[in-house]
Structure 1
Amino acid sequence: MWEYTDKVLELFYNPKNQGTIEDKGEAGVEISTGEVGSIACGDALRLHIKVDQETDKIIDARFQTFGCTSAIASSEALVEIVKGKTLDEALKITNKDIAEYLGGLPQEKMHCSVMGQEALEAAVYNYRGIPLATHDDDDEGALICSCFGVSEPKIRRVIQENNLATAEEVTNYIKAGGGCGTCLASIDDIIIDVQRGITSSPQNSTNSNYISQPSGKKLTPVQQIALIQKVLDEEVRPVLIADGGDVELYDVEGDKVKVLLQGACGSCSSSTATLKIAIESRLKERISQNIVVEAV
């Protein structure tokens, strides 16, 4: 029997935001949906957000969840958290925020909060017309857990974001390893790599061009600038150029990276998403979690 907080039980027994949002054709309002999970795997979440186009604020949200007590409570908590926030503010919400709002979740149920974070990201990207796959490295690496379809980059990301230290914790957060168990040794290896500060390339961990910060050594300002330029040139710019945009490194002040968005990126309504997802998240993953990217 799971030990749930009073808040989890309250939102599970009395959810106020289940269902869909009817599109009534209101001027200046748009509805977007994000969907994650799989009923075949036991959990699925469809999140609907209603956005005021002038202010970029989420003025309403609803959810449809197939899952357990934690899944329903996490979905209800997510909706309560996002209402009234701008899309940029919503993208800063993490699975930790959802779990904290609930007063905590059993470790074995943390994957429900992760599912909420991913559904929110999907809904925001869909609203902005950005294919999630364009900005999500999770599908670009080797498949580690075939039972639940979890790739190496996704495992690395959840380990880093939540400071996970065991394969069991990884299973609790994203289910990887919770099926046949044959991938548990590989998950242990990834945990060791992350703890040592090794960052593998999404395409191929043996690629000679991948970026790695020496374990236990702080980069000098010159080294950090060189690595930032390398990531921009080799991993970010080719994607942006393919979409008619570009980016140029303008300045680096400590962990603050200033860039110039050019071409289609400079005038695009989703330029904030480009900064945070296409550029900042890549630099965080490759170099330092403290990096913040700003446009000038």
Structure 2
Amino acid sequence: MHLSRAWKSGIITSMQRNSSLTVELFFNPKHVGEATEPRFIGRSSSFQCGATLRVSLHIDESAQITEAKFKAAGCSVLVASASLLMDQVLGKTTGEAAAFGQQAEALKDKLGALPVERSGCPALVREALVSAIQEYSDMARDEWEGDEALICTCFGVSERRIENEIESGGLRTIMEVTKACNAGAGCRSCYSLIEDILEEVNREQ
């Protein structure tokens, strides 16, 4: 395919605005593909730039991420961000990975300063990661066979533990519950459940 001089110049100028690590990971991305089944899938997309991302995780019985893969259609920053984040969550528990994925600055130090129009790419990757962990959390909660209802699968916090913290500490908000026992500090799929417990316990007091 023949590219005009102006088109080539535009590509070069765009790539020059990225860090050397971003360029390297764009041309040589890591962790591309699909995780081994059973896999948990998270997706994200941007209507603004048309980028799409799919993250797949394989998680073992101890809730540790043993495989983290992605497929992306987007710019160099999106691909580099996905490569970096998959690398960093590999070997972490779902709770650790979800908490890391919630941090807005999670990839900034490694990627360096980003062009304004690409600044949202790391957030797309973090969104897809957390979405995949939420799918795992929903499954783990449904299959739980313990004596007490499991609310926060990321940190193994039961309904009774949350009730006790609310009663003893006079807690009123999810943030207060999270600070007291870590429930909700990971993928946040349990937020609505924590809200229900807060409402019920405080209504009875």
Q: With the length of structure 1 as denominator, give the TM-score of the two structures.
A: 0.44
Q: CA deviation at 1:99?
A: 2.5
User: In structure 1, how many angstroms separate the alpha carbons of the residues matched to 2:135 and 2:56?
Assistant: 11
Structure 1 residues 9 and 127: CA distance shift in structure 2, 3 A: same
Please list, as runs of the form range in 1=range in 2, the aligned pairs for 1:187-226 lying within 5 A after superposition.
none
Please list, as runs of the form range in 1=range in 2, the aligned pairs for 1:104-253 lying within 5 A after superposition.
104-129=113-138, 248=163, 249-252=166-169
Q: Is 1:257 matched with 2:176?
A: yes
* SS of corresponding position for 1:128: helix
Aligned length: 150
User: In structure 2, how many angstroms separate the alpha carbons of the residues matched to 1:253 and 1:10?
Assistant: 52
User: In structure 1, how many angstroms separate the alpha carbons of the residues matched to 2:185 and 2:89?
Assistant: 21
* SS of corresponding position for 1:18: coil
Q: CA deviation at 1:40?
A: 8.6
The letter of the residue matching 1:257 is E
Q: What CA deviation, in whole Å up to 9, does each residue of 1:188-233 have, x standing for no partner?
A: xxxxxxxxxxxxxxxxxxxxxxxxxxxxxxxxxxxxxxxxxxxxxx
Q: Is 1:48 matched with 2:62?
A: no
* 1:20 equivalent in structure 2: 34
* 2:24 equivalent in structure 1: 10
Please list, as runs of the form range in 1=range in 2, the aligned pairs for 1:54-65 lying within 5 A after superposition.
55-65=62-72
Structure 1 residues 275 and 33: CA distance shift in structure 2, 3 A: closer
Q: What CA deviation, in whole Å up to 9, does each residue of 1:6-65 have, x standing for no partner?
A: 111111111121111242xxxxxx421101115795111000111112x21111111000
Q: CA deviation at 1:273?
A: 4.5
The letter of the residue matching 1:97 is A
Q: CA deviation at 1:103?
A: 2.8
Relative to total residues, which structure has the larger helix share, 1 or 2? 2
* SS of corresponding position for 1:61: strand
Superposed CA RMSD: 3.4
5+ unaligned residues in a row in structure 2: which ranges? 1-12, 140-158, 196-205
- Kept in 2, the 8 Å contact 1:44–1:67? The answer is yes
Q: What CA deviation, in whole Å up to 9, does each residue of 1:137-165 have, x standing for no partner?
A: xxxxxxxxxxxxxxxxxxxxxxxxxxxxx
Match of residue 97, structure 2, among 90, 95, 112: 90
- Kept in 1, the 8 Å contact 2:134–2:187? The answer is no
The letter of the residue matching 2:67 is D
Q: With the length of structure 2 as denominator, give the TM-score of the two structures.
A: 0.61
Match of residue 37, structure 1, among 45, 66, 72: 45
- Kept in 1, the 8 Å contact 2:25–2:80? The answer is yes
